[in-house]
Chains A and B, each alone.
Chain A
Amino acid sequence: MSKSIHDMGWDELVLGAAVHSFKEEIDYNPSQVLPENRDYAETNSKYKYVGDWRVFKPVWNTDLCIHCQFCWLYCPDTSILSREKKMIGFDYDHCKGCGICQEVCPTNPKSIIMFTEQTEEEEALNQWPEKKGSK
């Protein structure tokens, strides 16, 4: 193709145009290959940024986390990163700050809490609430 797809307008597309998820053809099934080992095409949405949608951002307290994976399961934006059955952090390029992860986190106190986007992580961890309901 002579022109990059980014320089083309929608009206230059031919009928039945295709957008590629991966570079060229891949000879593996992506369900068998973790994202970090895939050859994505520039037209994969993973290269876009929606982090600026956030007003609140999730902060993770590793000391409290029991790696239950509820946050991973229910994140609508594939933004909870889990590897080998452990939660390893957030993908802040794709997280929109919905707050579901905080809501579904079962620990007491929560292992994920939403803070305003500008809050530094250390500052957030220093303000972590105490266990609720304990005497």
Chain B
Amino acid sequence: MSGNKEIKNLKAFSTAAERFEGSHVLCPGCAHSIIVREILNATNDNMVVSASTGCLEVCTAIYPHTSWDTSWIHIGFENSSTAIAGAEAMNKALRNKGRIPADEPEPKFVAFGGDGATYDIGFQWISGCFERGHNMMYVCLDNEVYANTGGQRSSSTPIGASATTSPAGSTSYGEKRNKKDMLQIMAAHGAPYVAQVAPNKWKDMAKKIQKGFDAEGPVYINAMSACTTEWKFDPADTITVSDLATDSLVFPLYEIIDGTELNITYRPKNIVAVRDYLAAQPRFKHLFTPKYEYLIDEWQKRVDAQWEYLQRREEARV
């Protein structure tokens, strides 16, 4: 039986008994914790959670304290996926042997990793878990940078962003390569469910998380996590910047079921210009100089092309 919470509206959602405690040391305004709260609050089931090294892990497990009212495990940077896959496999084995009684409710197995842990360093471990078909949810907290070690670029960092290892200056516009498309890659594993979510679109996100919890097999969630420190906006603006991201279609919200059935789940009423999204974040401020301004048009064209592609995929059902 699924322990998904009934979330008719925001007031109903707010009756959730929180399982993520305060006095973690994430930055003021950090979206990681908003995402975690929205996920934990979507289910009533017991949870087994893991986290890769990164802001979320480091800041919620300051010795000798924990911010988690769930079972929680940390091993290393690259293996939140395999840690949770191991727990899931053990649960299955102990149930088969009758050492966990059949009437004991099944917990949800959820792994969290940053984009560094997901797109780069933990990639082969995640791929292995998906190939083996563990019953787990992997959530990437995608802030497009190695935030916890001071802002190095990852393969999720988008073109033109200034990062400490791809700094913008007189001879460079910052990151040179385009962001890797993790959602398509995870869908290509034949996963029953993959989705891109954003915490500012909370209803869409809750629906997808619950769909993910109901799916049999490995589920991948790419969660946009606006990072006040590395994207360099005011901490009060986390939701405002997130709105610009989803409404400019830089972060389109969609899902792919069984590797083929693509559904766009959010169509902004008023699509905002990519320029406005970039302008809100000083990591892109050098793009607003005559030398690099051409990149803003390129950005817009890329986002338009991606949106066109997603719509055609949705229509074609392949």
Most buried by A among B10, B12, B22, B69: B22
Q: Contacts A45-B60, A77-B33, A85-B12 known; A100 to B23 CB distance under 8 Å? A: no
Chain A: number of interface residues, binned into ranges: 35 or more
B47's nearest neighbour on chain A, judged by CB, is: A31
A76 vs B29: C-alpha distance when bound (angstroms) = 6
Task: Kindly list 8 other residue pairs between chains A and B, CB separation below 8 angstroms, not including A31-B43, A45-B22, A114-B236.
Answer: A21-B21, A30-B17, A35-B17, A43-B65, A45-B62, A50-B22, A77-B28, A94-B23
B46's nearest neighbour on chain A, judged by CB, is: A29
B16's nearest neighbour on chain A, judged by CB, is: A31
A70 vs B17: C-alpha distance when bound (angstroms) = 16
Q: Contacts A30-B19, A50-B25 known; A76 to B202 CB distance under 8 Å? A: no
What is B's interface to A at a CB cutoff of 8 Å? 3, 10-26, 28-34, 37-38, 43-46, 60-70, 199-200, 202, 228, 234-240
A72's nearest neighbour on chain B, judged by CB, is: B14
Candidates A21, A50, A82, A103; contact of B237 at CB < 8 Å = A103
A43 B14 Cβ-Cβ under 8 A: no
Closest approach, in angstroms, between the C-beta of A4 and any C-beta of chain B? 9
Enumerate 9 A-B pairs (CB-CB under 8 Å) in ascending A order: A45-B23, A74-B239, A75-B34, A76-B37, A82-B15, A85-B15, A94-B21, A98-B238, A99-B29
Candidates A10, A35, A75, A94; contact of B63 at CB < 8 Å = A10
Closest approach, in angstroms, between the C-beta of B270 and any C-beta of chain A? 18
B64 A74 Cβ-Cβ under 8 A: no
Q: Contacts A19-B66, A85-B14, A98-B29 known; A93 to B44 CB distance under 8 Å? A: no
Chain B residues with CB under 8 A of A61: none
A29 B235 Cβ-Cβ under 8 A: no
Candidates A20, A48, A102; contact of B236 at CB < 8 Å = A102
B69 A100 Cβ-Cβ under 8 A: no
A17 vs B165: C-alpha distance when bound (angstroms) = 35
A19 B29 Cβ-Cβ under 8 A: no
B11's nearest neighbour on chain A, judged by CB, is: A85
Most buried by A among B19, B200, B237: B19
B22 A5 Cβ-Cβ under 8 A: no
B22 A77 Cβ-Cβ under 8 A: yes
A48 vs B60: C-alpha distance when bound (angstroms) = 12
Closest approach, in angstroms, between the C-beta of B143 and any C-beta of chain A? 13
- Flag whether A73 is at the interface (Cβ < 8 A): yes
A47 vs B67: C-alpha distance when bound (angstroms) = 10
A85 vs B16: C-alpha distance when bound (angstroms) = 10
A30 B22 Cβ-Cβ under 8 A: no
Chain A residues with CB under 8 A of B20: 78
A8 B64 Cβ-Cβ under 8 A: yes
Q: Contacts A49-B23, A100-B236, A103-B239 known; A69 to B68 CB distance under 8 Å? A: no
Q: Contacts A19-B65, A103-B240 known; A73 to B14 CB distance under 8 Å? A: yes
- Flag whether A32 is at the interface (Cβ < 8 A): yes
Most buried by A among B18, B23, B62, B238: B23
A29 B44 Cβ-Cβ under 8 A: yes
A46 B10 Cβ-Cβ under 8 A: no
Closest approach, in angstroms, between the C-beta of A45 and any C-beta of chain B? 4
A44 vs B24: C-alpha distance when bound (angstroms) = 10
B11 A67 Cβ-Cβ under 8 A: yes
- Flag whether A33 is at the interface (Cβ < 8 A): yes
Chain A residues with CB under 8 A of B31: 76
B21 A69 Cβ-Cβ under 8 A: no
- Flag whether A121 is at the interface (Cβ < 8 A): no
* Chain A 33-54: CB-based contact to B (< 8 A → 1; otherwise 0): 1110010000111111110010
A29's nearest neighbour on chain B, judged by CB, is: B46
A20 vs B63: C-alpha distance when bound (angstroms) = 11
